[in-house]
């Protein structure tokens, strides 16, 4: 059997098989490296790439008996089906190029995901560092950065204060008159033998849930978690997919975790702020943000656009599937308002743009490995515009606090000294965004557009970052 082709949404052949049976990838090394974690490699170093996960189609296992007999009578070599993806390989290449050439991101690890939040289509799925599937080296095999690891799907990390979206949803659904509750932040909350602090030891005084969300008050959310109790918080997290076995049709992704046993009040309090033992993948947090943008409905990520036999028989055509309703439309609407308040007067004020309604949530958290703590910063957000419906996630990890460059469509963002995401986070990362419209694009690290008004919207994150962006209204160049 000759293995079938893998093709991107624009007709670019990403992988084919020659007469000798050798798997052939794109001629350009940078192009084939950019999609290696999406496609996989012939030696099976990448787990669950399209080459392996869709082998039933690519190796012709779905071929009918009549098709096999007809091919035999014609003396034809049996070929597998061609698989066309929802992904845009050019977008993947530009994301990888931006990471590899950025002064502060070159040589670092990271991840990027782009999805349509209405349909679940995956337009890009990138993990850094990449490697060349046609020229595998000993350096690749022995690299401490583990280039075969798909960070977008396999890395589970504490989501930090972006998890406050879930904590706030739990409070709204559990506590009576939750929007009228008042918390007190003196800069610290003692829980058993530990003290909950806010970034920079901030003291927020008396504040309600919306204000606590906008200033990302750890003390208030720790108090809210303790008032609700662990069961209520876990229930809401599980409504968003935590602790579920992600059995998606097209993609294999690690499960996200909200602990279920032996929980003391310290752990519950920190879980309210997205820390303790709470852990999520970048793809899943992208889905969480998208659910708010999509009126509470979370879509299953889909990667297969179509599957066609060598004779032109269509075996599969793209279809959307609702993964679950994570929250009611009413609660999603309230959270939408909270997230907009983050941008207008909270920790995300640096992302304000005149004339655009932008919603966001900043965050940071720490995890330990080998006795060393690594800070992870996140940002989830979207532009409230219904004419385009895309969700994007970009993530990096490192122990360094470095400047990162971010490019957003129609967004002009500069950092300050607040916590998280598109503003300065508490470990010193600063995010700079420049609007591509009528701007000096020569100063920008990359663009994805047919002209300036079709400018790209994606984000580069510093290596200490787990960054999630969810947009209502970007990526005009990706319309099929």
Lowest-confidence segment of 39-48, 90-99, 270-279, 371-380 by average pLDDT: 371-380
Long-range contacts, 332-335 (Cβ 8 Å, 24+): 332/291, 332/292, 332/294, 332/295, 332/296, 333/295, 334/172, 334/179, 335/165, 335/168, 335/169, 335/172, 335/292
Q: Which ranges of 146-264 does DSSP label H, i.e. alpha helix?
A: 151-154, 164-174, 209-214, 218-228, 230-239
324 closest CA partner among 114, 157, 120: 120
- The SS3 of residue 220 is helix
Q: Quickly state the pLDDT bin for 374 (edges 50, 70, 90).
A: low
Sign of the C-alpha dihedral computed for residues 27, 29, 32 and 34 taken in this order: negative
420 contacts 469 by C-beta, under 8 angstroms: no
- Cα–Cα distance measured from residue 237 to residue 254, given in angstroms and rounded to the nearest whole number: 16
Tokens 């470990």 sit on residue: 427
Instruction: Write out the E strands in 404-448.
Output: 404-407, 431-434
Q: Count of CB atoms within 10 A of residue 164's CB?
A: 31
Tens-digit pLDDT profile for residues 94-104: 878 877 876 65
As a whole number, mean pLDDT of residues 354-360 equals 77
The confidence score (pLDDT) of residue 376 equals 66
pLDDT at 293 over 80: yes
- pLDDT in the model for residue 270: 95
Q: Is the peptide bond before 129 cis (omega within 30 degrees of 0)?
A: yes
Q: Over the stretch 135-144, which tens digit does the pLDDT of each residue have?
A: 989 999 999 8
Between CA 302 and CA 115 the distance in angstroms is 9
pLDDT at 428 over 80: no
Structural domains of the chain sorted by starting position, each given as residue range(s) with its CATH number in brackets: 160-302+320-478 (3.40.710.10)
Q: In what helix (H) or strand (E) does residue 114 lie, and over which residues does it extend? A: strand 109-115
pTM, 2 dp: 0.80
In this structure, the strands spanning 13-17 and 6-7 are antiparallel
Query: pLDDT digit string (tens) for 315-349?
Result: 999 999 999 999 999 999 999 999 999 889 998 77
Asked whether the CA dihedral 341, 273, 167, 302 is positive or negative, the reply is positive
What is d(CA 37, CA 46) in angstroms, rounded to the nearest whole number? 6
């Amino acid at each position: 059997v000759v293995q079938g082709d893998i093709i991107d949404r624009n007709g670019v052949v990403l992988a084919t098989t020659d007469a000798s049976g050798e798997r052939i990838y794109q001629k350009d090394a940078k192009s084939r490296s950019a999609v290696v974690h999406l496609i996989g490699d012939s030696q099976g170093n990448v787990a669950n790439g399209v080459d392996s996960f869709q082998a039933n189609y690519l190796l012709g296992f779905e071929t009918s008996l009549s098709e096999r007999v007809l091919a035999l009578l014609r003396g034809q070599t049996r070929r597998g089906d061609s698989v066309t993806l929802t992904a845009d390989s050019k977008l993947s290449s530009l994301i990888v190029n931006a990471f590899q050439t950025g002064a502060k991101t070159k040589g670092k690890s990271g991840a990027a995901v782009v999805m349509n939040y209405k349909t679940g289509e995956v337009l890009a799925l990138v993990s850094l560092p990449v490697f060349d599937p046609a020229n595998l080296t000993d350096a690749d095999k022995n690299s401490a950065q583990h280039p075969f690891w798909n960070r977008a799907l396999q890395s589970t990390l504490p989501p930090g204060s972006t998890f406050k979206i879930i904590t706030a949803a739990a409070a709204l659904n559990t506590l009576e008159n939750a929007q009228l509750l008042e918390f007190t932040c003196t800069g610290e909350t003692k829980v058993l033998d530990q003290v909950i602090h806010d970034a920079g030891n901030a003291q927020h005084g008396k504040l309600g849930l919306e204000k606590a969300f906008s200033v990302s008050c750890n003390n208030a959310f720790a108090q809210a978690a303790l008032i609700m109790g662990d069961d209520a918080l876990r229930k809401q997290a599980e409504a968003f997919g935590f602790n579920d076995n992600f059995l998606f049709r097209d993609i294999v992704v690690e499960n996200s975790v909200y602990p279920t046993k032996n929980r003391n009040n310290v752990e519950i309090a920190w879980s309210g702020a997205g820390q303790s033992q709470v852990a999520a993948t970048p793809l899943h947090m992208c889905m969480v943000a998208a659910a708010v943008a999509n009126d509470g409905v979370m879509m299953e990520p889909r990667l297969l656009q179509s599957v066609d036999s060598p004779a032109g028989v269509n075996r599969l055509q793209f279809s959307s599937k609702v993964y679950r309703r994570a929250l009611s439309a009413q609660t999603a609407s309230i959270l939408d308002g909270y997230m907009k308040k983050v941008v207008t007067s909270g920790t995300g004020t640096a992302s304000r743009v005149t004339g655009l309604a932008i919603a966001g949530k900043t965050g940071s958290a720490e995890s330990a490995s080998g006795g060393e703590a690594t800070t992870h910063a996140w940002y989830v957000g979207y532009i409230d515009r219904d004419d385009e419906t895309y969700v994007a996630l970009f993530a990096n990890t490192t122990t360094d606090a470095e400047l990162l460059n971010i490019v957003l469509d129609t967004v002009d963002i500069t950092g300050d000294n607040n916590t998280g995401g598109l503003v300065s986070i508490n470990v010193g990362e600063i995010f700079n965004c420049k609007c591509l419209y009528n701007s000096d694009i020569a100063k920008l690290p990359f663009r994805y557009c047919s002209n300036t008004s079709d400018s790209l919207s994606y984000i580069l994150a510093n290596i200490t970052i787990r960054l999630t962006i969810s947009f209502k209204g970007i990526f005009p160049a990706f319309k099929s």
